[in-house]
Structure 1
Amino acid sequence: MVEKSILPNGIRVLTENIPQAHSVSIGIWVVNGSRHESLEQAGISHFVEHMLFKGSANCSTLDISKKVDALGGPLNGFTGREYSCLHLRTLPEKLSLAINLMAELLLKTCYDPDEVEKERRVILQEIERLNASPDEKVHDLFSQTFWPDNALGRPVLGTVESVQKITRDALVHFTRERYINSSLIISIAGNVGHGQVLEHVITAFAPVSALCPLTEQAEPLPVKAVSLEPLVGTQAHICLGTEALSQSHPNRFAGMLLNAVLGGGMSSRLFQSLREENGLVYATYSYLNSHSDSGAMVSYATTSATQAGEVVALILEQLDHLRHHAVSAEELDAVRQRLQDRLKMSLDSTYSRMERMALSEIFQGEYVSVRSVMRELAKVTPDNLCKLAHYLMSNDSLCLCIIGDVDDQAEKLQNISF
């Protein structure tokens, strides 16, 4: 059973009691991500996430490590474009200790100047590693190209230049303004009761302000664009995408199925065409990059640079086929069953249940159960998919990014269209 309470300071507390679970997953979610940063602040949310592990008013970095190990751990965090999260898995009997530790890390981060500089060096290495990994970098390049001049398209890590300019004072101010306020969501799933959780959270997070500063968000408008970035070597990394639906769009369930048909597994159209039938790629898939007010459906493939144009043409062929020909009932049923099976399997994980509660709250403002998602998936017809594909897959938002030595194919690639 999922329960929700809103504390006087605005914190939303979500719990799901799972009597058969041996563990409990705790997530402290902040409705703040890289898209809420100014250009000058690029990467500061990710920097804050790193600093939460580097000592508090009452705990050194070593103390934190020892406490996490004693709780079972691991303690981890991540920063996205629209939210950030600190999460921990432990035993139900250690719930109070875990909540108190996570509150300590968020509310009493000390930002020791030496630790700030150490972590700055770590983040700069992280950026360097990403830039040296074209199979990862191409996805950031796609977002930047698809949503130009919008914070949604900027890398979560920031840039070398922006991270070098972030000061300790800026980190302290940003944390107080954006993290310690009513945008907090505390999501907990496991063999614990709602009242039990409330008792611990109310005490641990009492200092949190009820204020939540709003930041004006420019509408992210996708554009038709091609970006070809040179790379010494024989491989080319390709992202080809079009517009997709937002996280709250009523037709998003059809979008999930459309993406699964295109590149959601070994039987998907991309895998069968690019790998099984033509032997052009080792890896290919598609994914939805969906946000609160925009989205992209992206096809990825890695191939020999000399074959990049052929691979792009085959991806376009698959997209165009989806625009003009309905998926068979048999194929749709198989894809639907696969998604439904994965949803059922996710129920075995307390982390997945914790995450589902939080993301539902962030994007829908209420809990969307696995059962209700399965019901919505069951309503989608082949005709729904064909109409959605025709609506989304337009030349107006066709975006191609390639990292690789494709200069000899540049003219043809710059003029792609359906």
Structure 2
Amino acid sequence: MTALTLLLEPRRSPDVLAAKLWLPGGSSLDPLGQRGAHQLLASVMSRGCGPLDHLALADLVEGRGAGLRCEAHEDGLLISLRCASGDAADLMPLLAWMVMDPHLKPDQVMLERNLSVQALQRQREDPSQVAFDGWRQLVYGDHGYGHDPLGLADDLVRLDATQLRPLSQLTRRMPATLAIAGVWPAGLEQGIASWPGFRDWSHHHEPPSDEQPSDEQPSAASQSVAHHGVTAYSQPTETEQVVLMLGQATLPHGHPDDLALRLLRCHLGMGMSSLLFRRLREEHGVAYDVGLHHPDRRGNSPFVMHASTGADRAALTLELLAESWWELASSPLSQEDLNLARAKFRGQMAHARQTSAQLAERRVVLRGLGLPDDHDQRCLERLGELDGAELQRVAATRLNQPRLSLCGPASTLADLERQWQSHQGESA
């Protein structure tokens, strides 16, 4: 039986409560041949649990005007509840029952499996998703982050309740974290352990961990197959649109160099004043969508620039993306660009803590990633220590093996691959 850590975040709100329950694991721990198992388990957990079948559970939640969902992230399962504070005693036991006693009925598993397969089929119609899937597979291979949390269609169709039951048993033994933000009923902190569902869950408080992630011994979720020498992936499609994704696996969230990468993300891809937006859209007009993806991960996180353009402008787009990538290591940011990146980082931090749900989710995610509760505040305090030279050093050491993924018409992709190989030869 696992331990449950409770985190409370008081916040003035109109008698609304947001609860987030984090269970370690996630899609990065999907077994080979069962990729998509954690997301399938997450979706079925809300289709009957404890004393309620799927219809009774839906009636209870929707009848109170509440919201309940469970989803798999790469590093954990996240169950989310939003409800009126007065309904908490009736609805919060669902969180415990979903973990301790999910029904996993075969017909509900089949229904959710079919929905997941349909979602994957829709993703295959999106060139941006196809390009990212290709980049992810190129960089991470069969390990951890190499597939979408939804899984792979060929694996999903073979999954049923037989595979989900042992996974559910493993999940319920994980050390879970429950964060509640907003306004909650009096006595919740002392009484929750006696509520239905939670009675079977040992309950304690635990100080946050100060241990920082390290990239010295990466986990399976952090491993990369890029060392095999393949630096580009192409997926031809019958369209005039070309999607380019250029990036590499970097560091876990909370690594000492991670903050510098997050400032570089703000500089490159946040808002209309970002380098990529100005260079690709305003100065050259070659891309109608541009940005940078750098999520929080317990393992080595993607750091990926992306752009969508027409076939006739794809070569120039690739040239500009490569130029923007390599100049980070060749010259330090100006003081003006550095100040702007710092301001964007502070603004992003404030924007992400506006609602009770955001506050609760950030609390459980930090715990799930093995970081202390004051990690964000520590980052804000460190901003002034990072100058242009330090960001240049981090770029030179952490952004030195980019991989390219392409989706678009076959003839254009062949030209882009030749262009990329030429770039690779020059950088070598």
Superposition TM-score, scaled by structure 1 size: 0.90
Alpha-carbon distance, 1:145 to partner? 0.8
Is 1:254–2:257 an aligned residue pair?
no
Secondary structure, counterpart of 2:336 in structure 1: helix
Alignment of 1:400 onto 2:400? no
2:420 counterpart letter in structure 1:
L
Partner of 1:63: 56
* 71-80 or 408-417: bigger deviation: 408-417
Moved more, 234-243 or 368-377: 368-377
Amino acid at match of 1:241: G
Deviation at 1:60, TM superposition (A): 2.8
Say if 2:86 and 2:185, in contact at 8 Å, map to a contact too: no
Change (3 A) 1:407 1:256: closer
CA contact (8 A) 1:29 1:86 kept: yes
DSSP 3-state at the match of 2:294: strand
Which residue is equivalent to 2:378? 372
Q: Please tell me whether the aligned partners of residues 241 and 398 of structure 1 are also in contact (alpha carbons under 8 angstroms).
A: yes
Partner of 2:391: 385
Partner of 2:85: 92
Q: Does 1:197 align with 2:201?
A: no
What is the alpha-carbon distance in structure 1 between the residues aligned to residue 7 and residue 299 of structure 2?
24
Deviates more, 1:378-387 or 1:28-37: 378-387
Match of 1:125 in 2: 118
Task: Give, in angstroms, the shift of residue 58 of structure 1.
Answer: 2.2
SS in 1 for 2:6: strand
- Count residues with an aligned counterpart: 403
Supply the distance in 2 between the matched residues of 1:28 and 1:383 (Cα, whole angstroms): 40
Q: Which amino acid aligns with 1:183?
A: P
Distance 1:36 1:195 in 2: 37
Q: SS of the residue aligned with 2:288?
A: strand
- Matching of residue 324 in structure 1 with residue 330 in structure 2: yes
Provide the rounded CA distance (Å) in 1 between the counterparts of 2:193 and 2:136: 37
**Residue number among 135, 138, 142 corresponding to 1:142 in the alignment:** 135
Letter in 1 for 2:264: L
- Per mean C-alpha deviation after superposition, the further-off stretch among 365-374 and 122-131 is 365-374
Q: Which moved more, 1:298-307 or 1:60-69?
A: 60-69
1:278 equivalent to 2:307? Answer no
Equivalent of 1:29, from 12, 17, 22?
A: 22
Corresponding position: 1:232 with 2:232: no
For 2:111 and 2:383, the matched residues in 1 are separated by: 47
Q: Which residue of 2 aligns with 1:5?
A: none
Superposed CA offset, 1:189-237 (max 9, x none): 1123896235214543333489xxxxx9435136252001101010011
- What 5-or-longer segments of structure 2 have no aligned partner? 204-217
Would the aligned equivalents of 2:27 and 2:35 in 1 still touch at CA under 8 Å?
yes
Kept in 2: contact 1:36–1:217 (CA 8 A): no
Using the aligned pairs only, state the percent identity.
21
- Tell me the SS of whatever aligns to 1:38: coil
After the TM superposition, which parts of structure 1 deviate over 4 Å for at least 4 consecutive aligned residues? none
User: How far, CA to CA, are the matches of 2:353 and 2:112 in structure 1?
Assistant: 36
Separation in 2, partners of 1:369, 1:92 = 29
- Per-residue deviation, residues 162-209 of structure 1 (Å, max 9, x unmatched): 1111121111221112x2123221111112389623521454333348
Q: Aligned partners of 2:423, 2:164: CA distance in 1, in Å?
A: 44
Matches of 2:310 and 2:193, distance apart in 1: 54
Structure 1 counterpart of 2:66, from 49, 73, 97: 73
Decide whether aligned partners of structure 1 residues 209 and 103 sit closer, same or farther in structure 2, where only a CA change above 3 A counts: same
Residue 24 of structure 1: SS of its match in structure 2?
strand
Deviation track 1:106-158 (CA, whole Å, cap 9, x = no partner) reads 32221222222222211110111111112223222211111123232123222
Secondary structure of the structure 1 residue equivalent to 2:172:
coil
Q: Give TM-score scaled by structure 2 length.
A: 0.88
Which residue matches 2:177?
185
Structure 2 match to 1:43:
36
CA distance in 2, matches of 1:66, 1:112: 18
Mean Cα displacement is larger for which, 18-27 or 93-102? 18-27
Alignment partner of 1:267: what SS?
A: coil
What letter is aligned with 1:402? L
- Indicate the SS of the match to 2:234: strand
Could you tell me how far apart the structure 2 residues matched to 1:246 and 1:182 are? 21
1:408 & 1:251 partners in 2: Cα distance? 36
Against the structure 1 CA distance between its residues 194 and 253, is the aligned structure 2 distance closer, same or farther, given a 3 Å change threshold?
farther
Conservation of the 8 A alpha-carbon contact between 1:344 and 1:370: no
Q: Conserved in 2, the CA contact under 8 Å of 1:189 and 1:354?
A: yes
Offset of 1:52 from its aligned partner? 1.4
> Could you tell me how far apart the structure 2 residues matched to 1:195 and 1:380 are?
45
Aligned 1:279-294 pairs, distance under 5 A: 279-294=285-300
Give 1:41 shift. 1.8
Return closer, same or farther for 1:321/1:287 CA change in 2, 3 Å cut-off.
same
The residue number in structure 1 matching 2:102 is: 109
Counterpart of 2:90, as a letter, is L
Give distance in 2, aligned partners of 1:293 and 1:360.
13
